[in-house]
Structure 1
Amino acid sequence: MAALRRAATWEISESEDSDLDLKSELNRDGSCQKETTHSRGEPEEKPTNLPSSAATSDWRAGLPAPEAAGGSPSPARKRRSREEMEAARLSAKKRKEERERQRAARAREKEERKREQQRRREAAESLRPENRIKSLTVCIEPALLQHAGSDILLDRLAMLEWRFTFESQRLSRSITWTRDLPQQVEDGRARVEQEDQVVLVFTLDEFVDVVISVKEMVDGDGQETGTVLSPLLECLNRNKVVTMLVTDFESHHWMKEYFPEQMLRTKLGMKDQDVEEVLVYLQLYQNISVVFLESWQDITAHVCAVTKALSKRPFNLLTERTELPFCVDGSWAGGARVGRDGSGLRDVWVRQIQQLNRVSPAVAAAVAQAFPSPRILLQAYQNSGSEAEKKRVLAGLWVKTEGKGRRVGPDISGRMYRSLTAENPQLVLD
């Protein structure tokens, strides 16, 4: 019997032993809690059901306890499939690519704005005459280099750092100008525009041949008889503006009392009337200016003056294209600014009064103070009786100046009345 009891004792597993220990501990805790409750006078509670050995082992392993334990089960985490993970990865990749595209688009827009601002800045800078002159090229006909004084012109152009070239042209001893157009590019190179100005450098003997040809043409009813004027007239047919610079290279200087026209008449044996007739014909009928100069210093000064004038031409053309070219430069040229609430209308009214001749700012301020708007002034004209009274509505207004005061006077008052009531647009106010 002892052997059997010992065997029965050995049949108890370790797990059952641990469960018994756990139950004993729970019973002790429950009894302690019950004693505490009884001591406080609270009602006795029934002990909860103890979990089984299998549930206890699962609970210790960290898994959710079964519903028999009396607690709510924790939600299990749903595991995503491989397709869902791949779709989420692709979606994140697309969002990243979209952000990259937007960032690149913003960078391109910013870079384009910078380039546009740079182009506008360069265009504004290129319109300045001192920068426009860099796009001009002075084209000199090689025949002019035969004269010793041509070095003066070349040295002057080199000192000013202006571009110049030597090109064979149809008109001998001529100087022309070309302009680069950087905004118009052909085959990777800037387009070149030919200017309409042409300068011819003649000696006195060469100009004598021109005068003889012109005189024969005038006497022959406009028919050109010689060959001297043929290339010149062909150049004029292409809308060129020709200037003849006549000088005597043989003599170093002209006497101050001996003018070129007198020397010309002496060589030609012409009368004063004949020479004047030739010069007037060239000026009025052919638009050819004749300038008599003493030396190459004067020729150089004339060429530099034409070059500077051509550099200012684009800027002057843009100035003439303004909507109000008659407005003079000044601080008031921009006009008065009027706000949405009507502020600034008084300044507009004052400046409108100042547009009349001989109306000072003090007079305009006095009129605007007495009649704050044109409508009020027109009502004053309507309330007046005769025409003479209407013309003298503003005559008695007092004008405050730094010195002694004065009145507007009947002259300005009458001109103001005519400017606001006259229906004839061609009426002269003064």
Structure 2
Amino acid sequence: MSVLRRAITWEISESEDSDHDLKSEFNCDVICQKETADSRGEPEALSLQEKPTNLPSSPAKSDSRVALSAPEACGGTPGPARKRRSREEIEATRLKAKEEREERERQRAARAREKEERKREQQRRREAAETLNSLRPENCIKSLTVCIEPALLQHDGSDILLDTLAMLEWRFTVESQRLSRSITWTRDLPQVEDGQARVEEEEQMVLVLTLADFVDVVISVKEMVDSDGEETGTVLSPLLERLNWNKVVTMLVTDFESDHWMKEYFPEQMLRTKLGMKDQDVEEVLVYLQLYKNISVVFLESWQDITNHVCAVTKALSKRPFKLLTERTELPFCVVGSWASGARVGRDGSGLRDVWVRQIQQLNRVSPAVAAAVAEAFPSPRILLQAYQNSGSEAEKKGMLAGLSVKTEGKERRVGPDISARMYRSLTAENPQLVLD
């Protein structure tokens, strides 16, 4: 109360500086008084009622300045000072942030590499599946093209071949080839990275000959045989040159002049009759072409038989890539069959006894009954090995299984010392080259 009375008796100066000092002091006194009242437990309303009645000449301006006065004028408690970090701490923080950033970059790069590797693996699997699908006979035959030499179409009945190929929707072309009256096959290979299609010529070739043409071939072969295999300038020379390109040639010999063969004769006999050759001469020519030149000779009656032969070769060529792929497996000798199928083992261990029985049956001259008898006495290989370890001498170990009873078709016999000794050697031998028998 004394502070308020002293403030009322002050003389207010007309100068701006004295007015400012007065108001600052007044604000400080009011705040200090409020704090004292709070410390004494006096209500805030009482302190507000004891405000002086005589205020400066501009009460609005004075009230606003009182409201905006800062508590620091009374010496309030300052905030906590911010601790300055040392240069080593700043450098350590910078290095830690850099390491974290580099670690995030490495993780991002690793995820990108894994994603790219997964894409490449998926692409490889897709390409492998497409390649495998294209090698199947029903799809592979679509990539084959039958190339027919135009000279063959001059014979009557050649339209049977063209109509059959068109009916089967197989691709064929009529184009000139190095050997007259020949039929070859080409295969379209999968496109490479540059996008260019490649064509591969098959090694099979069919040569359609008349009886007169085959007579010239026989004469050429006889001359070659008489000259100890020396090739002369005969009609066979272009064909032999073709054979040097790893071609497998099949000669289809037929008589286009006659409507049909005589039913009482075979084609070979008909040929000998028309040529007037001895059986020994014809056989000698056929054997020479087959063994020394890899040329097969087939005697046919008509264009229908030639068409059937061409279709059979085309189907065989379509099946060849898939067969070669299946033959390149790890165990090509394991064919599909009940004896080659394995025993299924469940998660609960069911089926392990069947595996043990099949393992015993792998030994030579061990029947399923003997394997079942051994498996019944020793349900697992570990039990049998423990029995071997608990036995005394080597002879006892070899003859441990000899007395087991084997029942087959109502008869009872023993396993025998031979099988018992082989079982012991197969489970305990350390030499992988040891012959059990």
- Normalising by structure 1, we get a TM-score of 0.69
Please show how residues 119-268 of structure 1 align to structure 2 within 5 Å.
119-182=127-190, 188-225=195-232, 227-268=234-275
Q: Deviations over 1:250-282 (max 9, x none)?
A: 333323322212221121111222222222222
CA contact (8 A) 1:137 1:164 kept: yes
Q: Could you tell me how far apart the structure 1 residues matched to 2:73 and 2:337 are?
A: 95
Per mean C-alpha deviation after superposition, the further-off stretch among 412-421 and 349-358 is 412-421
Q: Could you tell me how far apart the structure 1 residues matched to 2:73 and 2:368 are?
A: 100
CA contact (8 A) 2:148 2:172 kept: yes
Q: Could you tell me how far apart the structure 1 residues matched to 2:28 and 2:423 are?
A: 116
CA-CA distance at 1:131 after TM superposition: 2.8
Q: 1:249 to 1:29 in 2, by over 3 A?
A: same
Counterpart secondary structure, 1:290: strand
Given residue 211 of structure 1, which amino acid in structure 2 is its aligned partner?
Answer: V
CA contact (8 A) 2:145 2:172 kept: yes
Given residue 250 of structure 1, which amino acid in structure 2 is its aligned partner?
Answer: E
What is the RMSD of the two structures over their aligned residues, measured on CA atoms?
4.8
CA contact (8 A) 1:363 1:408 kept: no
Q: Could you tell me how far apart the structure 2 residues matched to 1:7 and 1:60 are?
A: 21
CA contact (8 A) 2:32 2:74 kept: no
Q: In the alignment, what sits opposite 2:40?
A: 34
- Normalising by structure 2, we get a TM-score of 0.68
Q: In the alignment, what sits opposite 2:303?
A: 296
Q: In the alignment, what sits opposite 2:50?
A: none
Counterpart secondary structure, 1:367: helix
Please show how residues 3-402 of structure 1 align to structure 2 within 5 Å.
8=11, 11=14, 13=19, 16=22, 20=26, 23-24=29-30, 27=33, 30-31=36-37, 34=40, 66=72, 69-73=75-79, 108-182=116-190, 188-225=195-232, 227-330=234-337, 333=340, 348-355=355-362, 361=368, 363-371=370-378, 372-373=380-381, 375=385, 382-383=394-395, 393=402, 396-398=405-407
CA-CA distance at 1:230 after TM superposition: 0.7
Per mean C-alpha deviation after superposition, the further-off stretch among 234-243 and 325-334 is 325-334
Counterpart secondary structure, 1:192: strand
CA contact (8 A) 2:208 2:253 kept: yes
Q: 1:117 to 1:325 in 2, by over 3 A?
A: closer
Count of residues in correspondence between the two structures: 380
Q: Which runs of 5+ in 1 are unaligned?
A: 38-55, 79-86
CA contact (8 A) 1:395 1:407 kept: no
Q: Could you tell me how far apart the structure 2 residues matched to 1:419 and 1:237 are?
A: 56
Q: In the alignment, what sits opposite 1:49?
A: none
CA-CA distance at 1:310 after TM superposition: 2.0
CA-CA distance at 1:228 after TM superposition: 1.4
Q: Could you tell me how far apart the structure 2 residues matched to 1:361 and 1:59 are?
A: 112
Q: Could you tell me how far apart the structure 2 residues matched to 1:70 and 1:333 are?
A: 97
Q: In the alignment, what sits opposite 2:57?
A: none
Counterpart secondary structure, 2:360: helix
Counterpart secondary structure, 2:190: strand
Q: Deviations over 1:113-168 (max 9, x none)?
A: 33222222223323323333333322221211222423222233333333322332
Q: Could you tell me how far apart the structure 2 residues matched to 1:355 and 1:60 are?
A: 105
Q: 1:28 to 1:310 in 2, by over 3 A?
A: closer
Q: 1:290 to 1:409 in 2, by over 3 A?
A: farther
Q: Could you tell me how far apart the structure 2 residues matched to 1:280 and 1:68 are?
A: 130
Given residue 395 of structure 2, which amino acid in structure 1 is its aligned partner?
Answer: N
Q: Could you tell me how far apart the structure 1 residues matched to 2:167 and 2:403 are?
A: 63
